[in-house]
Amino acid sequence: MITGIDLSEKNGEVRWNDFGFGDVQFAFIKATEAIDSIDREFERNIQYAKELGIVVGAYHWLHPRLHVGQQAELFIKTVRSFKGLLPPRSLPGNPSSELRGDGKKCDDLFGHC
C-alpha cells in the first residue's frame, strides 16, 4: 500500500524522526492560502520530508471568491521552484464557510446550493 500525508501548520511541529523508513512514501505540504497567508511550517516540512527521501508536493488552499491570479502569484513566489516536486495542487476552501450571493451559506463543494 502507498501511504501519503497532508501537512500544514495546523498539524503543529511535525516530529519527522517518528516516521520509520518507508512508513510514508509521499507528502503534500501546504504552502499558501488565499492571497496573503504563507504556511509557517512549509519550508521546514519540505526540508525534512526531502531529507527522509519522501516524495513531496506543495499545495495552495484556494478561496474561490478571492482573486485567483493573486493567489497563484503568492503560491509560485512561496514555493519558488517546483523542480523535483510532485505536480502542484490547489484545494478548494471550506465550502460551508462560503456565502452565496444571497448571504446564505453554501455547503455543497461545487456550489450547487
Q: Please report, for the domain that includes residue 26, its CATH number.
A: 3.20.20.80
pLDDT at res. 8: 95
Average pLDDT of span 30-59: 95
Would residue 43 count as lying in a domain? yes
Range of the domain at 29: 4-12+22-95
Q: What proportion of the chain, given as a percentage, has pLDDT over 90?
A: 58
Would residue 106 count as lying in a domain? no
Number of domains in the chain: 1
Would residue 28 count as lying in a domain? yes
Would residue 70 count as lying in a domain? yes
Would residue 113 count as lying in a domain? no
Mean pLDDT value across the chain: 83
For 24, list phi and psi in degrees, rounded to 5: -125, 125
What number of H helices and E strands is found in the chain?
A: 2, 5
Would residue 49 count as lying in a domain? yes
Q: How many whole angstroms separate alpha carbon 36 and alpha carbon 30?
A: 14
Burial of 16 (0-12, 13-18, 19+ CB in 10 A): middle
The predicted model scores a pTM of 0.78
Q: Model confidence over 60-110: pLDDT tens digits?
A: 999 989 999 999 999 999 999 999 999 999 887 554 444 444 545 444 333
